[in-house]
Chain A
Amino acid sequence: MTTYTPPTATAEETAERDAARVGGLPPRAERGSPWWLYAVLGVGLLVMSLPFVWMVVSSIKPEAEVRRVPPTWLPETVTTENYQTLLDRLSFPTYFVNSTVVAVVVMLGNLVFCSMLGYALAKLDFRGKKVVFALVLGTLMVPGIAVIVPLFVLVTNLGLANTFPGLFLPYLVTPIGVFLMRQYFLGLPDELISAARVDGAGEFRIFWNVMLPLTGPALATLALLTFLASWNNFLWPVVVAQTEDRYTLPVALALYSVGQNATQYGVLLAGAVVVVLPVIAVFLAVQRYFVQGIAMTGIK
Chain B
Amino acid sequence: MKTTTRTLALLAAAALLVSACGRDEDGDADDAAQAESVAEGPAEGTIEVWAMGAEGENLDVLGAAFTEENPDATVEVTPVPWEGAHDKIATAIAAGETPDVSLIGTTWMGEFAKTGGLDPTPEDLVNPDDFFPGPWESTVVEDTSYGVPWYVETRALYYRTDLAEQAGLEPPTNWDELKSFAQGLQEQGGAQYGIYLQPGQQGAWQTFMPFAWQNGAQLTDGDQYAIDSPETVEALEFYTSFFEEGLSQNTPLDPGALEQGFVDGTIGSFISGPWHVGLVRDVGGPEIDDKFDVVPLPGKDSGVGTSFVGGGNLAVFDASDNRDAAWKFVQFASQPETQQLWYETINDLPSVQSAWEGGPLTDDPLVAVFGEQLQETEAPPAVPTWEQVAASIDSDIERAVRGQVEPTEAVANMQQQAESIGTGL
**A residues within 8 Å of B by Cβ?**
63-64, 67-69, 89, 128, 131, 148-150, 152-154, 156-158, 161, 234-235, 238-239, 242-244, 251, 254-256, 258-263, 265
What are 6 inter-chain pairs, A to B, with CB distance below 8 A? A68-B283, A128-B4, A158-B18, A251-B81, A255-B81, A259-B82
* Bound complex: CA A47 to CA B334 (Å): 54
B153: A residues at CB distance < 8 A = 261
* Bound complex: CA A267 to CA B356 (Å): 32
The 8 closest A-B pairs by CB, nearest first: A254-B81, A238-B84, A156-B95, A67-B256, A152-B91, A255-B81, A153-B19, A69-B260
The stretch from B52-60, B130-138, B239-247, B325-333 touching chain A is B52-60
Is B256 within 8 A of A69, CB to CB? yes
Contact with A along B234-273 (1 / 0, CB 8 A): 0000000000000000000011110111000000000001
Is A258 within 8 A of B82, CB to CB? yes
Partner of B84 from the list A67, A149, A239 (CB cut-off 8 Å) is A239
Contact with A along B70-95 (1 / 0, CB 8 A): 00000010111111110110111011
User: Cβ of B285 < 8 Å from any Cβ of A?
Assistant: yes
Most chain A CB atoms below 10 A, which of B23, B80, B261:
B80
In the complex formed, the residue of B with least CB distance to A71 is B256
In the complex formed, the residue of A with least CB distance to B91 is A152
Contact with A along B257-296 (1 / 0, CB 8 A): 1011100000000000101001100110100000000000
In the complex formed, the residue of B with least CB distance to A155 is B95
In the complex formed, the residue of A with least CB distance to B311 is A260
State the total of A-B contacts with C-beta under 8 angstroms: 111
Q: How far is the CB of B232 from chain A (nearest CB, A)?
A: 26
Most chain A CB atoms below 10 A, which of B81, B88, B260, B283:
B81
Partner of A261 from the list B97, B261, B275 (CB cut-off 8 Å) is B275
Contact with A along B21-43 (1 / 0, CB 8 A): 11100000000000000000000
Is A235 within 8 A of B282, CB to CB? no
* Bound complex: CA A150 to CA B95 (Å): 9
Partner of A259 from the list B53, B78, B92, B255 (CB cut-off 8 Å) is B53
User: Cβ of B96 < 8 Å from any Cβ of A?
Assistant: yes
Partner of A242 from the list B21, B52, B97, B254 (CB cut-off 8 Å) is B97
Is B57 within 8 A of A239, CB to CB? no
Is A256 within 8 A of B282, CB to CB? no
A157: B residues at CB distance < 8 A = 18-19, 21-22, 95
Is B78 within 8 A of A150, CB to CB? no
Q: How far is the CB of B187 from chain A (nearest CB, A)?
A: 24
In the complex formed, the residue of B with least CB distance to A67 is B256
Q: A156-B95, A161-B95, A260-B82 are contacts. A255–B19 as well, Cβ < 8 Å?
A: no
* Bound complex: CA A238 to CA B312 (Å): 20
Is B53 within 8 A of A255, CB to CB? yes
A234: B residues at CB distance < 8 A = 83-84
Is B78 within 8 A of A149, CB to CB? no
Most chain A CB atoms below 10 A, which of B21, B53, B54, B257:
B53
A149: B residues at CB distance < 8 A = 90-91, 94
Is B95 within 8 A of A67, CB to CB? no
Q: How far is the CB of A139 from chain B (nearest CB, A)?
A: 12
Is A255 within 8 A of B91, CB to CB? no
Q: A69-B260, A262-B279 are contacts. A256–B57 as well, Cβ < 8 Å?
A: yes
Q: How far is the CB of A62 from chain B (nearest CB, A)?
A: 9
Q: A64-B282, A64-B285, A238-B88 are contacts. A156–B81 as well, Cβ < 8 Å?
A: no
* Bound complex: CA A270 to CA B294 (Å): 33
A152: B residues at CB distance < 8 A = 91, 94-95, 97
Q: Mark out the residues of chain B between 388 and 423 whose CB falls within 8 Å of any chain A CB in the assembled complex.
A: none
* Bound complex: CA A80 to CA B285 (Å): 19
B87: A residues at CB distance < 8 A = 148, 235, 238-239
Most chain A CB atoms below 10 A, which of B15, B52, B95:
B95
B80: A residues at CB distance < 8 A = 238, 255
9 A-B pairs besides A152-B94, A260-B53, A260-B312 with CB distance below 8 A are A67-B256, A69-B256, A148-B87, A153-B22, A157-B21, A242-B78, A255-B80, A259-B54, A260-B82
* Bound complex: CA A132 to CA B95 (Å): 31
* Bound complex: CA A176 to CA B95 (Å): 28
